[in-house]
């Protein structure tokens, strides 16, 4: 592929993620234009063949696809503001975590300047960019996602989640939330086991083995939650209720703060008191989902 024929991409923002992303495009043979507020962060990429833009306008004008991994959506907008008239007809992919309101504001601003906008949320680390385990969530313009899918998947597997620009961020938070609960549970358990002389490093592989099993259980849990059918339970509310009670009691006895498990205890107690003790653990979903699902 000659340089003239190579597909073009601009990466605006060369922090940890942007540097990895620009590197992935260079490795994939893209003519990669880069810009960063602190220009020196582009030195290594320039040495690898990236084209350095003198300013944001030159970076935007360099091609049809702008990938922008900056701090947050407000920074994306502030950075692009001077080049806003050049955005018309180009695809702007903002890869910046922020509030849902910021995501929607940025999308409206980009659309106001005639850009096709995709909000992205990166489920990846700098070193996993381009690796099979990396995945990104996208929402916004579906036609932009389809048109640029090959280029987007140089960074990570892409999942398109609908037109609402906040959907990518919300899905990212949902995945993080799943992890937060598991990681907090791990840290609490590690503190408890420390009192038995089992250090966190010895416990970690045991917890990891269990989490792998739990991950394999998710589709089953999801099927029950989606169908609202909890009768054929592998693990019931009333089976888990005493287990959580004992975990809390064991923690209290050993001087370890058990409060991380209080919300789960409250849900299990309520479900049991409502007469659903024989239902599957997954029936907690009935207490968590909105009374009337939004359309
Ligand atoms: N790192 C991760 O593991 C990871 C994983 C998933 C998602 N993310 C998300 O990816 C985005 C980028 O993260 P990162 O880790 O690459 O961040 P980072 O290494 O801190 O880089 C931040 C980038 O934003 C630029 N920036 C910050 N403030 C600016 C301003 N006021 N004006 C212009 N440019 C500004 C920085 O430019 P300078 O170089 O000039 O400071 C740099 O290019 C964030 O939304 C983050 O939440 C990160």
The count of residues in the chain is 295
The order of strands in the sheet holding 65-68 is: 51-52, 31-35, 8-12, 65-68, 91-95, 116-123, 135-140, 157-160
Ligand 1 pocket list (CB less than 6 A)? 13-18, 36-38, 41, 69-72, 75, 79, 95-97, 122, 124-126
**Cα(38) to centroid of ligand 1, in Å?**
12
Compute CA 275 distance to the chain's CA centroid, rounded to the nearest angstrom: 37
Contacts of 153 by beta carbon, 8 Å cutoff, 6+ apart? none
In whole angstroms, give the CA distance from residue 209 to residue 194: 19
**Cα(52) to centroid of ligand 1, in Å?**
18
Question: Measuring from atom 17 of ligand 1, which residue has the nearest CA?
Answer: 15
pLDDT digits (tens, 9 = 90+) for 232-252: 888 999 999 999 999 999 999
What is the full per-residue pLDDT of the chain (295 aa) written as tens digits? Answer: 454 589 999 999 999 999 999 999 999 999 999 999 999 999 999 999 999 999 999 999 999 999 999 999 999 999 999 999 999 999 999 999 999 999 999 999 999 999 999 999 999 999 999 999 999 999 999 999 999 999 999 999 999 999 999 999 999 999 999 999 999 999 999 999 999 999 999 999 999 999 999 999 999 999 999 999 999 888 999 999 999 999 999 999 999 999 999 999 999 999 999 999 999 999 999 999 988 655 5
- For residue 201, CA distances in Å to 62, 114, 193, 204, 256 come to 49, 53, 11, 5, 18
Q: Which domains does the chain have, with CATH numbers?
A: 8-163 (3.40.50.720), 195-288 (1.10.1040.10)
Neighbours of 229 (CB within 10 A): 13
């Amino acid at each position: 592929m000659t340089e003239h024929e190579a597909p073009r991409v601009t990466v605006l923002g060369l922090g940890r993620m942007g540097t990895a992303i620009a590197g992935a495009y260079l490795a994939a043979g893209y003519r990669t234009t880069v810009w960063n507020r602190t220009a020196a962060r582009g030195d290594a990429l320039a040495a690898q063949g990236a084209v350095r833009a003198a300013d944001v306008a030159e970076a935007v004008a360099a091609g049809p696809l702008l990938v922008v991994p900056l701090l947050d959506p407000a920074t994306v907008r502030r950075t692009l503001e001077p080049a806003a008239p050049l955005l018309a007809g180009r695809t702007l992919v903002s890869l910046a975590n922020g509030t849902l309101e910021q995501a929607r504001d940025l999308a409206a601003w980009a659309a106001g300047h005639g850009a096709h906008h995709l909000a992205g949320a990166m489920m990846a680390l700098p070193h996993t960019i381009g690796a099979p385990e990396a995945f990104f969530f996208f929402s916004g313009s579906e036609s932009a996602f389809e048109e640029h899918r090959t280029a987007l998947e140089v960074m990570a597997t892409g999942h398109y989640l609908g037109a609402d620009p906040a959907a990518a961020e919300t899905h990212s938070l949902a995945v993080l939330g799943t992890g937060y609960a598991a990681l907090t549970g791990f840290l609490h358990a590690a503190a408890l086991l420390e009192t038995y002389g089992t250090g966190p490093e010895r416990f970690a592989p045991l917890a990891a083995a269990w989490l792998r099993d739990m991950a394999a259980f998710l589709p089953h849990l999801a099927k029950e939650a989606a169908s609202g059918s909890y009768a054929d339970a592998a693990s019931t509310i009333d089976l888990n209720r005493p287990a959580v009670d004992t975990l809390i009691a064991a923690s209290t006895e050993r001087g370890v703060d058990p409060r991380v498990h209080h919300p789960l205890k409250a849900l299990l107690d309520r479900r049991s008191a409502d007469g659903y003790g024989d239902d599957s653990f997954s029936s907690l979903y009935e207490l968590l989902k909105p009374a009337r699902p939004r359309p």
